[in-house]
A and B are shown apart, each in its own frame.
Chain A
Amino acid sequence: MRRILSILLENEPGSLSRIVGLFSQRAYNIESLSVAQTDDASLSRITITTRGDDKVLEQITKQVNKLVDVIKVADLTERAHIEREMVLVKVLAMSDKTRTEVKRVADIFRGDIVDIGKQIYTIQLTGDESKTSAFIKILGHETEIIEVVRSGTVGIARGEKALRAS
């Protein structure tokens, strides 16, 4: 089962490597990882998507919580949440026909063309993982994909619930 873990931790050298190391050391899987500091510069927020049954997830959550740097851990998938990923896709756009098709697909998915070259378009798109995956797949039917970069999922709980240090 796919899960999204949100981790709030001290923004210190080595704290990210402890998280990543824990996952590899205990043979847990990381599907995507996204990390940056929060509004409070002393804190980092990590979003990890992983897979596992309830028992594995319970262990992962406990093990992450046990790390001294970690302040809070939440499983976003337990309740209503918003998840987003950003992708940048560079595609071949040589002919007028391809350009039109690519533009049409980008519009349908509400993506933006953010760079144009003699032979390429680069499209930016935001959405949950199923949307971004579908977009990449469909673009691939229309033209040749040169490069894909995905930010990894970030997420936040819906409603009042918040993951904060205190």
Chain B
Amino acid sequence: MTTALYSGSQLLIKALAELEVDYIFGYPGGSVLDIYDAIFQQDKVEHILVRHEQAATHMADGYTRATGKTGVVLATSGPGNTNCITGIATAYMDSIPMVVLAGQVPSQLIGDDAFQETDIIGCSRPIVKHSFNCRSVVELPNVLAKAFYLAETGRPGPVVIELPKDILVPTNTAPFELNKEVKIRSYNPNVKGHSKQIKKAVNTIINAERLVVYTGGGIILADASDKLTALVERLNAPTTNTLMGLGGLSGLHPNFLGMLGMHGSVEANKAMANADVILALGARFDDRVTNKVEKFCPNATIIHVDIDPTSISKTVNAHIPIVGLVDVVIDQLMAGLDEANHQYNEQAYADWWKQINQWRSLNSFSYETDENKIKPQQVVESIYKHTEGKAYVTSDVGQHQMFAAQYYPFDKPRQWINSGGLGTMGFGFPAAMGVKVAFPDADVVCVTGDGSIQMNIQELSTCLQYNLPVKIVSLNNRSLGMVRQWQDMIYGGRHSSSYMESLPDFVKLVESYGHVGIQVNHPSELDEAMERAFAMKDRLVFVDVLVDETEHVYPMQVRFGAVDDMWLKKGEKV
């Protein structure tokens, strides 16, 4: 019997199918035409053709954030690869697993400045978890298996594989050898937290008088939401989520204090500032949370649980560091509480809750409505109402992102999808498309603005081709709202390049792409328009809402202040 031989392109697709990949998001070009030919001749892995490679990376990313399955991107050498850079960086900053198949010129031409040659390994080096130069046909399936293993385990992240054309061509063949049991001697991420540290943490938690549980994207990535909820309920702990962690504890849960940080709730930031013990789970004390690090929670004992040792004591010093998978560590903490005979007590933290409820009564997310002008907050509330709080919501970056995070309480993890770390405008729409690919029957809404949406608007065409009826709601304030807000607050109201002159007629624009556009001008029309939009289940609807352009996002941390130094509204500090 002779062993079957395959080209590198065939091996690649065969291995992807074996690794249970359903979709590739990509764009063809010279160096990867052999892969496209192999895709054409099979039906296990479906390819989705975007209109710009950046959108392919965000689509894969959105798909991953909603499903937990690693997204796969395919791009050609040179500009195809460099167009992926922003999407790779976005995934890297938010620890999203992704495998990028990067075409390359033939090995013999590498280094010659050949047509469409760039050193994609070098370009992407600071923004990947790891990268591979694949140099032979036979190793291709196992390199792919390694890439998935690295992308998904430990602290997840993007992995780039460079594929020179000479290993993809039909004349260069090898047998199919794939070992799914990957072992890498130099890579052994921690799983369990150190038992002594767990003991210390349990003791500290039990003796706390003013405990706050502060959780981030790690809870979402580890699917640890149920375990977190059980821990929070057992302790009766006040709990706050980061922007990346929303949905980790339900936004409707009585113990939830709202998001913390720059535009977080007053009660969340006040609770952090006054806590005696902070239990940080899968969060990384980002500067948009801490405000001035030197003033951050000086009196709290900090227990920091993270899978990545570099996240611990990077910005804020951790008193009890625990390195491990957050779901495993929560199990260990629960077991530790059992061992210490800790009992649930309805009265736990009674005084602390009393204090927190006083801060809550400030109602820091309240805003004033206007008879003639639509407030952006109202729009998000209307989306919530018309999706019954069950939609997948993606966002771009700016004021609308903060409004979405503040006014749409997320009941479930993976429901809220945004670029928290890198802050990538243009992320929201393709990310929503990726979610829709995974969940065709779910409501998927991209909350965006007139600035962000134009950064990947070409994907309206992809949506028509693949029937992806997402909803796009643009909080159109005819300006770059967050830039302008900072200019108002810090730069003496000088609106340098933050005014969007010459906006297109968005309704006509989406209609020309074969979709439905609705413009809303007046508060009285808002609910009816949303109802109409969400009733059209199988159409992409773009709702262009002309909102009050003077509205600012509040509350807001005072620059260089402590975590709880906040503007409650214009000119009013807490």
Binding site for B on A (CB under 8 A): 9-10, 13-14, 17-18, 21, 25, 55, 58-59, 62-63, 65-66, 68-71, 165-166
Contacts of B122 on A, CB cut-off 8 Å?
Answer: 17
Q: Which residues of B contact A13 (CB under 8 A)?
A: 133
- The complex places the Cα of A82 from the Cα of B259 at a distance, in Å, of 52
Interface 1/0 per residue, B372-395 and A, CB below 8 Å: 000000000000000000000000
List 12 A-B pairs, Cβ < 8 Å.
A9-B186, A10-B186, A14-B133, A17-B125, A21-B125, A21-B126, A25-B126, A55-B313, A59-B310, A65-B309, A68-B129, A71-B185
Question: Does B186 contact A70, Cβ atoms closer than 8 Å?
Answer: yes
| Cβ contact within 8 Å between A58 and B313 | yes
- Given A14-B121, A14-B131, A17-B122, residue A68 in contact with residue B309 (CB < 8 A): no
A25 to B125, CA, bound (A): 10
Question: Which residue of the partner chain B has the closest CB to A64?
Answer: B310
Q: How far is the CA of A68 from the CA of B157 in the complex (A)?
A: 12
Q: Is the CB of B131 within 8 A of A66?
A: no
Q: Which residues of B contact A68 (CB under 8 A)?
A: 129-130, 150, 184, 186-187
Q: Tell me the complex Cα distance, A96–B220, Å.
A: 78
A165 and B121 within 8 A (CB): no
Q: How far does the Cβ of A81 sit from chain B's closest Cβ, in whole Å?
A: 23
Complex-state Cα separation, A21 to B322, whole angstroms = 28
Contact residues in A for B184 (Cβ distance below 8 Å):
68
Interface contact B310-A165, CB-CB below 8 Å: no
CB-defined contacts of B494 to chain A, threshold 8 Å:
none
Q: Chain A contacts of B130 at CB under 8 A?
A: 68-69
Partner of B314 from the list A25, A59, A70 (CB cut-off 8 Å) is: A59
Question: Any chain A CB within 8 A of the CB of B551?
Answer: no
B209 lies within 8 A of chain A by Cβ: no
Which residues of chain A have C-beta atoms less than 8 A from B133's C-beta? 13-14
In whole angstroms, how far apart are the Cα atoms of A31 and B2 in the complex?
57
B422 shortest CB reach to chain A, Å:
15
B185 partner, pick from A17, A65, A165, beta carbons under 8 A? A165
Give bound CA distance, A13 to B121, whole Å.
11
Q: What 7 A-B pairs have minimum CB-CB distances, sorted nearest first?
A: A68-B130, A71-B186, A62-B310, A25-B126, A62-B309, A68-B187, A21-B125
Decide if B125 touches A18 in the complex (CB within 8 Å): yes
For window 283-315 of B, CB contacts with A under 8 Å fall at 308-310, 313-314
A69 touches B125 (CB 8 A): no
Contact with A along B128-167 (1 / 0, CB 8 A): 0111010000000000000000100000000000000000
Note all chain B residues with C-beta closer than 8 A to A166: 185
A128 to B249, CA, bound (A): 57
List A contacts of B131 (CB < 8 A): 14
Task: Give the chain A neighbours of B121 by CB distance below 8 A.
Answer: 14
What residues of chain A lie closer than 8 Å to B185, measured between beta carbons?
71, 165-166
Interface string of B159-190 (1 = CB under 8 A from A): 00000000000000000000000001111000
Q: How far is the CB of A152 from chain B (nearest CB, A)?
A: 23
The smallest C-beta distance from B538 to any residue of chain A, in angstroms, reads 44
Could you tell me the distance between the alpha carbons of A17 and B186 in the complex, rounded to whole angstroms?
Answer: 17
Which residues of B lie under 8 Å from residue A18 when comparing CB positions? 125
Distance A20 CA – B199 CA, assembled complex (angstroms): 39
* Complexed CA–CA distance, A165 and B314 (Å): 28
User: Measured between C-beta atoms, what is the minimum distance from A32 to chain B in Å?
Assistant: 22
Enumerate chain B residues within 8 angstroms of A10, measured Cβ to Cβ.
Answer: 186
Which chain B residues lie closer than 8 Å to A55 at the CB level? 313
A58 to B310 alpha-carbon distance, docked (Å): 9
Interchain CA distance A166-B187 in the complex, whole Å: 13
Among the listed B186, B308, B309, which residue makes an inter-chain contact with A69, where contact means beta carbons less than 8 Å apart?
A: B186
B309 touches A66 (CB 8 A): yes
A17 to B185, CA, bound (A): 20
A150 CB to closest chain B CB (Å) equals 27
